[in-house]
Protein backbone atom coordinates (compact mmCIF):
# COMPACT_ATOMS: atom_id res chain seq x y z
CA UNK A 1 0.00 0.00 0.00
CA UNK A 2 1.45 3.38 -0.99
CA UNK A 3 0.42 6.54 0.83
CA UNK A 4 1.60 9.96 1.87
CA UNK A 5 1.06 10.68 5.58
CA UNK A 6 2.63 12.60 8.44
CA UNK A 7 0.79 15.95 8.38
CA UNK A 8 0.32 17.77 11.70
CA UNK A 9 -1.21 21.04 12.88
CA UNK A 10 2.36 22.27 13.36
CA UNK A 11 4.01 21.21 10.09
CA UNK A 12 1.12 22.24 7.83
CA UNK A 13 2.39 25.81 8.32
CA UNK A 14 5.57 24.76 6.57
CA UNK A 15 3.71 22.97 3.78
CA UNK A 16 1.48 25.96 3.16
CA UNK A 17 3.96 28.79 3.40
CA UNK A 18 7.49 27.45 3.31
CA UNK A 19 10.12 27.65 6.05
CA UNK A 20 10.21 31.45 6.21
CA UNK A 21 6.58 32.30 5.47
CA UNK A 22 4.68 29.55 7.29
CA UNK A 23 0.99 30.45 7.74
CA UNK A 24 -2.57 29.34 7.06
CA UNK A 25 -2.94 32.22 4.60
CA UNK A 26 -2.91 30.20 1.34
CA UNK A 27 -5.63 27.96 2.77
CA UNK A 28 -7.74 30.81 4.15
CA UNK A 29 -7.49 32.89 0.98
CA UNK A 30 -8.47 29.99 -1.25
CA UNK A 31 -11.47 29.20 0.92
CA UNK A 32 -12.48 32.89 0.69
CA UNK A 33 -11.99 33.06 -3.08
CA UNK A 34 -13.96 29.84 -3.70
CA UNK A 35 -11.28 27.47 -4.92
CA UNK A 36 -11.65 25.38 -1.76
CA UNK A 37 -15.16 24.97 -0.39
CA UNK A 38 -13.99 24.18 3.16
CA UNK A 39 -12.18 21.62 5.29
CA UNK A 40 -13.84 18.36 6.38
CA UNK A 41 -12.63 15.90 9.02
CA UNK A 42 -13.30 12.20 8.31
CA UNK A 43 -11.96 10.32 11.30
CA UNK A 44 -12.44 7.25 13.42
CA UNK A 45 -13.44 3.63 13.36
CA UNK A 46 -14.52 1.42 10.52
CA UNK A 47 -17.94 -0.25 10.69
CA UNK A 48 -18.27 -3.69 9.04
CA UNK A 49 -22.05 -3.17 8.89
CA UNK A 50 -21.41 -0.33 6.43
CA UNK A 51 -19.29 -2.43 4.07
CA UNK A 52 -15.89 -2.29 5.74
CA UNK A 53 -14.44 1.01 4.60
CA UNK A 54 -16.94 1.56 1.81
CA UNK A 55 -18.69 4.37 3.68
CA UNK A 56 -15.49 6.34 4.38
CA UNK A 57 -14.19 5.85 0.85
CA UNK A 58 -17.43 7.04 -0.78
CA UNK A 59 -17.63 9.98 1.63
CA UNK A 60 -14.07 11.16 1.02
CA UNK A 61 -14.36 10.78 -2.76
CA UNK A 62 -17.51 12.90 -2.81
CA UNK A 63 -15.93 15.56 -0.58
CA UNK A 64 -12.77 16.05 -2.63
CA UNK A 65 -14.79 15.93 -5.86
CA UNK A 66 -16.67 18.94 -4.48
CA UNK A 67 -13.52 20.90 -3.54
CA UNK A 68 -13.44 20.07 0.18
CA UNK A 69 -9.98 19.48 1.64
CA UNK A 70 -10.18 16.33 3.80
CA UNK A 71 -8.33 15.71 7.08
CA UNK A 72 -8.12 12.07 8.17
CA UNK A 73 -7.04 10.02 11.17
CA UNK A 74 -7.45 6.47 12.43
CA UNK A 75 -8.96 3.51 10.63
CA UNK A 76 -10.96 5.75 8.31
CA UNK A 77 -7.64 6.91 6.89
CA UNK A 78 -6.37 3.35 6.48
CA UNK A 79 -9.49 2.37 4.54
CA UNK A 80 -9.02 5.35 2.24
CA UNK A 81 -5.32 4.55 1.87
CA UNK A 82 -6.22 1.02 0.71
CA UNK A 83 -8.30 2.65 -2.05
CA UNK A 84 -5.36 4.85 -3.02
CA UNK A 85 -6.96 8.08 -1.82
CA UNK A 86 -3.85 8.97 0.19
CA UNK A 87 -1.74 8.81 -2.98
CA UNK A 88 -1.79 12.36 -4.37
CA UNK A 89 -1.81 11.07 -7.99
CA UNK A 90 -5.00 9.06 -7.38
CA UNK A 91 -6.71 11.76 -5.34
CA UNK A 92 -5.95 14.36 -8.03
CA UNK A 93 -7.85 12.24 -10.57
CA UNK A 94 -11.00 12.68 -8.45
CA UNK A 95 -10.56 16.10 -6.82
CA UNK A 96 -12.42 19.18 -8.06
CA UNK A 97 -10.50 21.74 -10.13
CA UNK A 98 -10.20 24.38 -7.37
CA UNK A 99 -8.93 21.98 -4.71
CA UNK A 100 -6.57 20.38 -7.22
CA UNK A 101 -5.14 23.75 -8.24
CA UNK A 102 -4.36 24.80 -4.66
CA UNK A 103 -2.98 21.41 -3.61
CA UNK A 104 -0.66 21.27 -6.61
CA UNK A 105 0.49 24.87 -6.05
CA UNK A 106 1.43 24.35 -2.39
CA UNK A 107 2.46 20.70 -2.72
CA UNK A 108 -0.07 18.92 -0.51
CA UNK A 109 -2.46 16.07 -1.38
CA UNK A 110 -6.26 16.62 -1.29
CA UNK A 111 -6.54 14.15 1.63
CA UNK A 112 -4.25 14.90 4.57
CA UNK A 113 -3.45 12.01 6.92
CA UNK A 114 -2.70 13.52 10.33
CA UNK A 115 -1.88 10.26 12.10
CA UNK A 116 -3.41 7.56 14.24
CA UNK A 117 -6.58 8.46 16.10
CA UNK A 118 -4.69 8.20 19.42
CA UNK A 119 -1.48 9.93 18.37
CA UNK A 120 -1.36 13.10 16.36
CA UNK A 121 2.27 13.78 17.28
CA UNK A 122 1.22 17.03 18.94
CA UNK A 123 3.12 17.73 22.19
CA UNK A 124 0.33 19.87 23.73
CA UNK A 125 -2.21 17.10 23.04
CA UNK A 126 0.16 14.43 24.40
CA UNK A 127 0.68 16.48 27.58
CA UNK A 128 -3.06 16.93 27.94
CA UNK A 129 -4.04 13.28 27.54
CA UNK A 130 -1.15 11.92 29.64
CA UNK A 131 -1.36 14.45 32.50
CA UNK A 132 -3.93 17.24 32.67
CA UNK A 133 -6.96 15.14 31.68
CA UNK A 134 -6.66 13.17 34.95
CA UNK A 135 -7.85 16.22 36.93
CA UNK A 136 -10.99 16.27 34.80
CA UNK A 137 -11.98 12.60 34.46
CA UNK A 138 -9.77 10.68 36.92
CA UNK A 139 -8.11 8.58 34.20
CA UNK A 140 -5.38 9.33 31.70
CA UNK A 141 -3.50 7.89 28.73
CA UNK A 142 -0.02 6.39 28.82
CA UNK A 143 2.42 5.43 26.08
CA UNK A 144 4.69 2.64 27.35
CA UNK A 145 6.62 0.33 25.05
CA UNK A 146 6.98 -2.71 27.32
CA UNK A 147 3.59 -4.47 27.87
CA UNK A 148 4.43 -5.56 31.42
CA UNK A 149 5.58 -2.06 32.37
CA UNK A 150 2.32 -0.79 30.85
CA UNK A 151 0.26 -3.29 32.89
CA UNK A 152 2.11 -2.35 36.08
CA UNK A 153 1.59 1.38 35.46
CA UNK A 154 -2.15 0.73 34.98
CA UNK A 155 -2.33 -1.43 38.12
CA UNK A 156 -0.48 1.26 40.12
CA UNK A 157 -2.96 3.85 38.82
CA UNK A 158 -5.92 1.68 39.87
CA UNK A 159 -4.31 1.16 43.31
CA UNK A 160 -3.94 4.92 43.68
CA UNK A 161 -7.66 5.34 42.99
CA UNK A 162 -8.56 2.49 45.38
CA UNK A 163 -6.60 4.25 48.11
CA UNK A 164 -8.35 7.58 47.47
CA UNK A 165 -11.72 5.76 47.70
CA UNK A 166 -10.54 4.03 50.92
CA UNK A 167 -11.40 0.58 49.51
CA UNK A 168 -10.35 -2.64 51.23
CA UNK A 169 -6.90 -4.06 50.43
CA UNK A 170 -7.01 -6.82 47.80
CA UNK A 171 -8.36 -10.02 49.28
CA UNK A 172 -5.75 -12.41 47.91
CA UNK A 173 -2.00 -12.19 47.41
CA UNK A 174 -1.17 -10.21 44.27
CA UNK A 175 1.58 -11.02 41.74
CA UNK A 176 2.23 -7.28 41.52
CA UNK A 177 1.75 -5.91 45.04
CA UNK A 178 0.27 -2.46 45.64
CA UNK A 179 2.86 0.31 45.28
CA UNK A 180 0.98 2.94 47.29
S1 LIG B 1 -7.64 2.66 15.93
FE2 LIG B 1 -8.97 4.43 16.23
S3 LIG B 1 -10.18 4.55 14.42
FE4 LIG B 1 -9.33 2.50 14.48
S5 LIG B 1 -10.83 1.24 15.51
FE6 LIG B 1 -9.44 1.99 17.05
S7 LIG B 1 -10.40 3.85 17.83
FE8 LIG B 1 -11.33 3.37 15.88
For 139-169, write each residue's pLDDT tens digit. 999 989 999 999 999 999 999 999 999 999 8
Rounded mean pLDDT, 87-104: 93
Task: Look at residues 33, 41, 88 and name the one whose alpha carbon lies nearest to residue 63.
Answer: 41
Q: For ligand 1, atom 7, which residue shows the shortest CA distance? A: 45
Mean pLDDT of all residues in the chain?
Answer: 88
Residue 120 clears pLDDT 60, i.e. is over it: no
Q: Which is the closest atom of ligand 1 to the Cα of 78?
A: 4
Q: 75 CA distance to ligand 1 centroid (A)?
A: 5
Q: Which is the closest atom of ligand 1 to the Cα of 118?
A: 2
pLDDT at 24 (0 to 100): 83
Residue 47 clears pLDDT 70, i.e. is over it: yes
At residue 180 the predicted structure's pLDDT band, cuts being 50, 70 and 90, is low
Helices (H), the chain: 12-17, 25-32, 54-65, 74-82, 88-94, 97-106, 123-127, 133-137, 147-164
* Cα–Cα distances in angstroms (integers) from residue 72 to residues 5, 96, 106, in the given order: 10, 18, 19
Q: Provide the whole-model pTM.
A: 0.74
Q: Does the Cβ of 53 fall within 6 Å of ligand 1?
A: no
Cβ–Cβ under 8 Å, residues 110 and 69: yes
For the chain, domains (ranges, CATH) are: 12-113 (3.40.50.2030)
Q: Which is the closest atom of ligand 1 to the Cα of 73?
A: 3
Q: For ligand 1, atom 5, which residue shows the shortest CA distance? A: 45
Q: Which is the closest atom of ligand 1 to the Cα of 76?
A: 3
Task: Look at residues 85, 73, 71, 64 and name the one whose alpha carbon lies nearest to residue 4.
Answer: 85
Rounded mean pLDDT, 58-77: 94
pLDDT at 87 (0 to 100): 92
Pocket test for ligand 1, best of 74, 77, 115 (most atoms within 8 A of CB): 74
pLDDT at 125 (0 to 100): 84
Amino acid sequence: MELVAGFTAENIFYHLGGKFRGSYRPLNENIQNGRIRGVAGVVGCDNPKMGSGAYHVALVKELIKNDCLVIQTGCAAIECAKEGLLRPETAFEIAGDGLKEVCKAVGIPPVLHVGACVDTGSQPLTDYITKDIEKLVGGKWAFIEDPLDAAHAMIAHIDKKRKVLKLQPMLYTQAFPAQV
